[in-house]
Amino acid sequence: MTTRIKRHIILISLIHWFYTLGFILLYWLSFWVDKMEKPFLFLAGATIASWIPYKDCPLIVWENRLREKINLKKRYYFTLTHILYSVLKKSFGIQISAFTTLYLIAILVVVKILV
């Protein structure tokens, strides 16, 4: 059972990384390739909508549920948000919330719409 849960945790982490990389790549490409704008806006909308029922990233919620089953430490941030969290907390003593990811996505969407 533990091995199966660990495999699921790894799978969720991989999905998270690919989703994040795809999001960033689509955002960057959407400035040069018009066909990439709709997929980017879809991913941004899907990300924002998926947070509504969980009040957090669903992938983090699912991963933490699995981590609890095998007594592993919970994760609260992921990829870019974690980097921002670490820099702000260690450098300035500012702690950001989990919703910072949504704020960052909203800012990217607004920038994309305005440009």
CA atoms within 13 A on the CB side of 52: 5
Q: How many residues does the chain have?
A: 115
The reported pLDDT for the residue numbered 37 is 92
Instruction: Give how many domains the chain has, as a whole number.
Output: 1
CB 2 within 8 A of CB 70: yes
The pTM score is: 0.75
Condensed to tens digits (0 to 9), the pLDDT of residues 1-22 reads 688 888 998 898 888 888 888 9
Residues in Cβ contact with 34 at an 8 Å cutoff, skipping those fewer than 6 apart: none
Range of the domain at 97: 2-114
- The answer for residues whose C-beta is within 8 angstroms of residue 61's C-beta and 6 or more apart is 54
